[in-house]
Amino acid sequence: MAEVHRRAPDRPERWDVVVIGGGNAALVSAMSAHDQGARVLVLERADRTFRGGNSRHTRNIRCVHRSADDYNTGAYPYDELWKDLCGVGTGPSDEDLAELTVTESESVPDWMSAHGALWQKPLAGTLHLGRTNRFFLGGGKALINGYYRELERRGIPVWYEAKVESLEFDGPRCNSLVVDVGGKRVTVTATAVVCASGGFEANLDWLREYWGDAVSNYHIRGPRFNDGLVLRQLLDNGAAVAGEQRGFHSVAVDARSPKFDGGIATRIDSIPFGVVLNKKGERFYDEGEDIWPKRYAIWGRNLAGQPDQIGYCVWDSKVQGLFLPPMYGVYKADSIAGVLDAMGLPTEPGRTTIERFNAGAPADAAGRFDPGGLDGVATAGVVPAKTNWAQRIDTPPYYGITVRPGITFTYMGVKVNAGGRVVLEDGSTMENVFAAGEIMSGNVLSSGYLAGFGMTIGTVWGRISGREAARHALR
């Protein structure tokens, strides 16, 4: 078992590299700096049990590979990943850094294996991503556990419950960090600092600045610790912004899920199989726009824009069982009015909306319906149209579930250069402060998201920033 690293140091010591954070980007930075021979300290705000930030909720990573292997079902060449990256959101924000990320991704899996990662063979449930993405055996927490074991093996200390409160600057140089270690305030001095403390998605007040009271109805899918305190410190000390300020990645989650840390299990996949009504009982978006893996991340935003940020998804027994069962179960009734009522939605005008939807759905839908791909079974004369899988909702029992936006992470971060150094607003760089992971992912993608690329960014940039921080310290 890992030693308890919560102890505050009794004598001040200078570390070569101090890494802020305890998720994927932080641990990779720490090992990368250690590979260079640096004396490294890791400061993780969570306790040992809940360590690992958003990374503990992940399951796969997307990297370039030239051929199939044990863990990927086929090749995924540079050009294809680059094209995929250009296809999301507004595309790469800094082309050079994005290209560097894609190029570097090719050596990531081997590097990870050498530093304690284990992989899962492609299985039935993961096949649709089995070619492009590699799955961690046991998921992100298992990966993180493996990294922490490797840290322990190397003798890299980790202080848990160590919350960095401020970075003390002298011009462009950070001289020390003020850290709250289990309730005790400690000053930590370091020759170089890597900031890998994630986004600010768990900071409701910060989100409220952009989104107002709607935030009360958002769920945060990861831990409550990612409040962007370190990001704020960097911005306040002149760091330039990268990534869309108001941007966040979000999906539809079960309205009954907890405010924080619900992770993957609260995600709702029923949307393409039925219709979604808002609080006013109206449909508001094409539920069958594209295959679900390409569209699930639109629904967080869709819901965030609706009254009270809530949606009511309804389907019937024809499609029940075609998607993962929600963890809290579903509402069920023998009539549409019954299921709307069970979800707490007034029966009208919801029932009328569904009747109108049914009238617009093709009569021969049942014969053409194909959940395996875009089937073109579309409504006619209904606004908004449902352009695929538009079967009538007419076979009892009827099912329903209430959905809310679940925020995965925020996009805004600090700008870095190709060596991971934080760039200031005037274009110069901080002397000894580096960044990796979500806190700088806006350099690669300023909006939009490619499944599995968050871990790629964290690993590629953790490697770069850890290495460069160590070189700076040991120069």
Partner 1 sequence: MLSDDLFAEAERQLNICNSCRYCAGYCPVWPALELRTQLTVTDVTHLSNLCHDCQDCFTACMYSPPHEFAVNPPQVFASVREETYGSYVWPAEPPAALRGRRGVLAAFLGSAVLVAVLALLMGESSVVDGSHTRSPYELIPHFTLAVIVLIPTIFTLLVMARAAWRYWRDIGGTLAGLTDLAAWTRTFGQAATLRHQTGGQEGCSYPDGEPAGARRRFHHMVAYGFLLTFVSTVSAFILETFLDSAPPYDVVSVPVLSGTIGGVLASVGCVGLLVLKRRADVLQSTESMRRADHALLWALLALMLSGLAVLVLRATPVFGPVLGLHLATVIVAFAIAPYTKFFHWVYRVLSIQYDNRESRRRASA
Ligand X SMILES: Cc1cc2nc3c(=O)[nH]c(=O)nc-3n(C[C@H](O)[C@H](O)[C@H](O)COP(=O)(O)OP(=O)(O)OC[C@H]3O[C@@H](n4cnc5c(N)ncnc54)[C@H](O)[C@@H]3O)c2cc1C
The residue type at 185: R
Lookup: tokens for 95: 């082309």
Residue among 124, 213, 364, 381 that touches partner 1 (CB under 8 A)? 124
Contacts to ligand X from residues 217-256, by CB under 6 A: 221-222, 225-226, 229-230
293 touches partner 1 by CB under 8 A: no
Beta-carbon contacts of 325 under 8 Å, excluding residues fewer than 6 positions away, are none
Count CB-CB contacts under 10 A for residue 320. Answer: 18
Cα(85)–Cα(100) distance, integer angstroms: 13
400 vs 340: CA distance, rounded Å:
7
Sequence-distant (6+) residues with CB within 8 A of 21 are 42, 43, 44, 45, 53, 195, 196, 197, 198, 230, 437
How many other CB atoms are there within 10 angstroms of residue 387's CB atom?
Answer: 17
CB of 251 to partner 1, least distance (A): 13
Per CB under 8 A, the list member of 14, 66, 83, 121 interacting with partner 1 is: 121
User: How many residues of this chain interact with ligand X, rule: CB under 6 A?
Assistant: 42
Between 24 and 132, name the residue whose CB sits nearer to ligand X.
Answer: 24
Tell whether residue 258 is a contact of partner 1 (CB under 8 A).
yes
Return the bridge partners of 99, or none.
Answer: none
The identity of residue 133, as a single letter, is: N
CB of 266 to ligand X, least distance (A): 9
What is the DSSP code (8-state) at residue 374? -
Q: Does 224 bind partner 1 (CB under 8 A)?
A: no
Q: Is 472 in the site for partner 1 (CB under 8 A)?
A: no
* CB closer to partner 1, 264 vs 474: 264
Contact 283, 274 (CB under 8 A): no
Please state the closest distance from residue 12 (CB atom) to ligand X, in A.
19
142/298 with CB nearer partner 1: 142
Backbone angles phi, psi at 134, to 5 degrees: -100, 135
126 touches partner 1 (CB under 8 A): yes
Is residue 438 a contact residue for ligand X (CB under 6 A)?
yes
Q: Is 166 in the site for partner 1 (CB under 8 A)?
A: no
274 binds ligand X (CB under 6 A): no
| Helix (H), strand (E) counts: the chain | 13, 19
Closer by beta carbon to ligand X, 194 or else 319: 194
- CB-based contact 296:251 (threshold 8 Å): yes
The residue (of 89 and 263) whose beta carbon lies closer to ligand X is 263
**CB of 297 within 8 A of CB of 251?**
yes
> What residue ranges bind partner 1 (CB under 8 A)?
1, 49-50, 52, 56-57, 59, 118, 120-121, 123-126, 135-142, 145, 149, 258, 261, 263-267, 321, 324-329
Binding site for ligand X (CB under 6 A): 20-26, 43-46, 52-55, 57-61, 163-164, 196-198, 221-222, 225-226, 229-230, 263-264, 408-409, 437-438, 452-455, 458
